[in-house]
Amino acid sequence: MSAVELAGAACDLLEREGPKYNALAALTRDRARREALAADRAIRARTARSRLLGIPYGVKDLLSAKGAPTTWGAPPFKDQVFDEDATAVAKLRRSGATLAGKLSMVELAGGGGYRYPSASLQGPGRNPWDRERWSGGSSSGSGSAVGAGLVPFALGSETSGSIGTPSAYCGVTGLRPTYGLVSRHGAMALCWTLDKIGPMARTAEDCGIVLEAIAGPDPKDATSSGKRFRPLAPRDASRRLRGVRIGYAGEEIEQLGGATAKAALLRGVRELVRILNAKTVRAALPPDIPYGHMVGAVLAAEAGSIFAELIESDRFEELRDAKQKAGLRQGLEIKARDYLKAMRLRVSVHEAFRRIFDDCDLLLSAGRTVTATPLTQPLDLPPTAGGANAPKPVGNAALIAAGNLAGLPAIFFPCGFGTDGLPVGLQLVGPPFSEGLLVAAASAYQRETAHHSKRPKRSP
């Protein structure tokens, strides 16, 4: 099959199947064909070096693609078009990958908070395993498209959980990179000090291939770390995994795990430890740090500043979620002392992780402690996992918030299915720039299991 044929097949699939999951924001068929023609020329000339050459993909609709709509999932920006590729998209173009489509997202990536999955220009993200369940936000289209097999990989973004949640709910593998490893130039800003761009794919190995292509320095992004990424060679991976120490608490699964998810999550933990032949050590986040409130304060203040012009304009009322609009307005009222206090407390989070990683190499927990929630369920009151009456966080229940506050990398990967037939997954978190070890650990697990290879039946 030529790259042109493959690009056409991917575009056909996205066009036909994507709307069933509200996953497609814009088809980029003409661009995919141009890029595929270039890939075929490189293949014929035997100049091909990239493993992504001719591979179709999709990107979350907060990343600009020259000439294509970039709506940020929000009605006020439905006609927005940029004349430049985001750096991550440009790097994938240079690698020979072919952009097949822009993928839907929660409006403004959930800035301000939102109550219902319908807070999106394309409608609620529908889960490919059950279209009446949510695919997760805010990278909802990326999770659905990869989970349904519509594209081999997609780019998502995470501020606090937006790669992890759709990966867990849709049964795909997602890699959240260290803050600053991947340029955010050309991406919608939600929270300058938390935003990260990362791949979502079928396997950890595929995520590593994509990350290698998009990571690296960028003079257009002042927060770029300047570091590059390369997956570990098989011999190095085996050496690094020999005697690997896994930090684990478990109370977050035992006490907060949903009835449909808990047994499968606990089996996955045992399975991972056995396959890696890992040494497990007790490791838990300090319970006295208000991780969730800190993320909320930082995100609200920064999002309020970023979207101030929109909030104060008539277009603001076009947003679909009332709670989100209220949250964005409140963000304009955050006091400087509250924002700065949260920023200072981040030092405590960094120190807590430093102590944890003195005793272990990777930290293990659930990706989400519940299976995908119904589309009609309010997101601020999910059972056993949050809301006003939720149990006090225990173990590493706050790992997603804490890991994002510290800018740490994480990999999310499937580990089985709940009693309701929906996917469940685990997450591994590592020290800064430990993506190589994370990919190696998840890849070793996936070589011995088949959870990641399961695909849902396509809906008629």
Cis peptide leading into residue 138 (ω within 30°): yes
Element (H, E) at 126: strand 126-127
In the residue annotation, 365 being an active-site residue is answered as no
Whether residue 335 contacts residue 311, with contact meaning beta carbons closer than 8 Å, is answered with no
Could you tell me where the DSSP H helices lie in 174-261?
204-214, 234-241, 251-256
Alpha carbon distances (Å) from 140 to 129, 147, 228, 235: 13, 10, 27, 36
In angstroms, how far is CA 169 from the centroid of its own chain?
Answer: 11
Element (H, E) at 174: strand 173-176
In the residue annotation, 341 being an active-site residue is answered as no
In the residue annotation, 60 being an active-site residue is answered as yes
Whether residue 460 contacts residue 443, with contact meaning beta carbons closer than 8 Å, is answered with no
> Which residue among the candidates 64, 135, 139, 162 is catalytic per the annotation?
162
Helix, strand, coil shares of the chain, percent, nearest 5, are 40, 15, 45
Count the neighbouring beta carbons within 10 Å of the beta carbon of residue 342.
21
> Which residue among the candidates 138, 139, 224, 365 is catalytic per the annotation?
138
Whether residue 35 contacts residue 98, with contact meaning beta carbons closer than 8 Å, is answered with yes
Tokens read off for 276: 């890696």
Which residues have a catalytic role annotated? Answer: 60, 138, 162
